[in-house]
Every structure is written in C-alpha cells, then in structure tokens.
C-alpha cells in the first residue's frame, strides 16, 4: 500500500513540475488593461469662456493737464495737440471700428479720415471748465457728402454735454448727449431744422455754437440759424469739443483749418 502511495505521489509531483516549467513562473498581463492616453496638444485645446462684449463707446480718461492751458484760443493745428485734448468715440453698429479712423494735424490742418462706417469721433478740450463760451470751426469737406460736423459745450464726462450737429446734406440739430450709468450715450433731441446756408458737397463751411446762460445759439457761415432757451437739462458748465461723424458711406474726409474758443 505504501509503495502504491509513493508511486501516486511521484506521479503528481511530476505533473506539477511539468506545469511550472511550461508557465515560466510568470503572471500574464490581461489584455483588457488600458494604457494611459497621450496628453492633449495645448494648441489644439480651446478654453471655454463667456463672450467678450465690446462697449459702444470708449470710456474717457482724464488727461494729464499741462501746467498752463489757454482759456480762450484759436487752434490752427500747426503742431500736435496738447495733452489737454483727448479722444472719445461712439459707435453706431457692431461692425464699426474706431481704429480705422485717423485724426491728426497735417500741413496746418486737422485731417479726419474715416475708413469705417458708423463712428462718431470726438475731441474734447478740458484745459478749462467754461460756463459761458463760444466755439467755432472752419471745416472743408473732402470726402463723401454724408457726414456731420459737431461743436460741443458744457462737457462733463459723468453727466453729458450739449452738441450742435451740422450735416453736409443741409440739416442741423442740437442734442443733449446724456451719459448713462453703464457709460452708454443717449442722444436727446433739443431742436432741429435745415439751412440753405450750409454749403453742400466738397466745400468749406464755418460754424459756431454759443452757450450763454440758458441760451444756445447756432450760426452757419456767419448767419444765425436758431437760438433756444434750454431749461430742460440745464447744464451749467464744462469743457468744449469738436467732432466728426461717419454714417453709411465711405470715405469720410474732413480738414479743419482752425478751431476757436472765445468769450461770447
């Protein structure tokens, strides 16, 4: 009996040895275990974020005032504008691009060149804050006929300003441009009309806008076209300025020979 047991044990031991020899003593790796995926290329990954909404106008920044500013003067554009002047733009459409507008002194004139539609481009002078003031400009239209030249008085960056617009087509209007809490500009019509004194087409016009007390007076080529008693918005004082606006045709090109600020 013991000899049979030994034979059985020997046979089992032999089978176990053969089995270990065939396996090589290693543990197989399951084919279902995944490998680590490659890291994404940073150039191909687009982050998600909220859309950026461009404002309808550039927010004005207070200029660094020079030590000496003139109160009443005639700017003839023979040199770069002083730091008392700064730019403010309003756009009338989502595609309007103020960067496509250049305004700079050239050969004794202030040259405005618009290569974008629906841009209202302002230059404000804050060398002084005026109560009663008269502003004048001499403007030469060198581009299309559909544009507007504007004169501004009593400008306050937190409140608004009075604006006298003269369209090259022969119409004019006066607005209270109101600065809203969100920085947007609301144009409130005060008065409007037309004048045969406006020289249409490629021609030269002289305009003036006087703010004295509650009286707003507009002249075109030396002729008074309207005087109103404005008590609705009752702006008291502020800076002055000048503007050119492009609407739905290009190019708009205007050359200004001079801009004058005087006591009414």
- DSSP states along 181-204: TTS-EEEEEEEEEE-TTS--SS-E
**40 within some domain:** no
Mean pLDDT across 137-165 = 96
Q: Is pLDDT larger for residue 28 or for residue 201?
A: 201
**37 within some domain:** no
pLDDT at 8 over 90: no
**51 within some domain:** no
**98 within some domain:** yes
Number of H helices, E strands in the chain: 1, 15
Specify the number of domains making up the chain: 1
CATH code for position 203: 2.60.120.560
Lowest mean pLDDT segment, chosen from 38-42, 129-133, 188-192, 195-199 = 38-42
Here the tokens at position 133 are 């003031």
CB 144 within 8 A of CB 251: yes
Domain that holds residue 141: 74-262
Q: List helix spans (H) across the chain.
A: 2-23
Here the tokens at position 210 are 């006087």
Residue 56 contacts by C-beta under 8 Å, 6 or more apart in sequence? 90, 91, 184, 185
Model confidence band, residue 135 (pLDDT cutoffs 50, 70, 90) = very high
pLDDT tens digits for 58-116?
544 443 343 468 899 999 999 999 999 989 999 999 999 999 999 999 999 999 999 99
- pTM of the predicted model, to two decimals? 0.76
**164 within some domain:** yes
């Amino acid at each position: 009996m013991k000899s049979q047991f030994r034979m059985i044990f020997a046979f089992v031991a032999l089978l176990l040895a053969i089995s270990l020899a065939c396996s090589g003593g290693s543990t197989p790796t399951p084919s279902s275990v995944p490998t680590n995926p490659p890291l994404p290329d940073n150039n191909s990954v687009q982050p998600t974020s909220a859309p950026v909404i461009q404002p309808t106008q550039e927010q004005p920044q207070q200029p660094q005032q020079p030590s000496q500013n003139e109160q009443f003067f005639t700017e003839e554009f023979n040199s770069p504008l002083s730091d008392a002047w700064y730019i403010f733009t309003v756009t009338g459409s989502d595609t309007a691009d103020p960067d496509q507008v250049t305004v700079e002194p050239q050969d004794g004139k202030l040259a405005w060149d618009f290569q974008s539609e629906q841009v209202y481009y302002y230059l404000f002078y804050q060398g002084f804050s005026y109560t009663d003031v008269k502003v004048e400009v001499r403007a030469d239209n060198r581009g299309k006929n559909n544009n507007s030249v504007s004169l501004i008085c009593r400008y306050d960056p937190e409140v608004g300003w009075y604006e006298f617009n003269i369209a090259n087509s022969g119409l004019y209007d006066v607005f209270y441009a109101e600065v809203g809490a969100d920085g947007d500009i609301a144009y409130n019509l005060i008065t409007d009309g037309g004048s045969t004194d406006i020289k249409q087409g490629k021609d030269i016009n002289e305009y003036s806008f006087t703010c004295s007390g509650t009286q707003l007076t507009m002249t075109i080529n030396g002729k008074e076209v309207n005087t109103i008693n404005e008590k609705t918005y009752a702006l008291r004082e502020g800076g002055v300025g000048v503007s050119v606006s492009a609407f739905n045709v290009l190019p708009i090109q205007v050359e200004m020979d001079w801009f004058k600020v005087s006591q009414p």
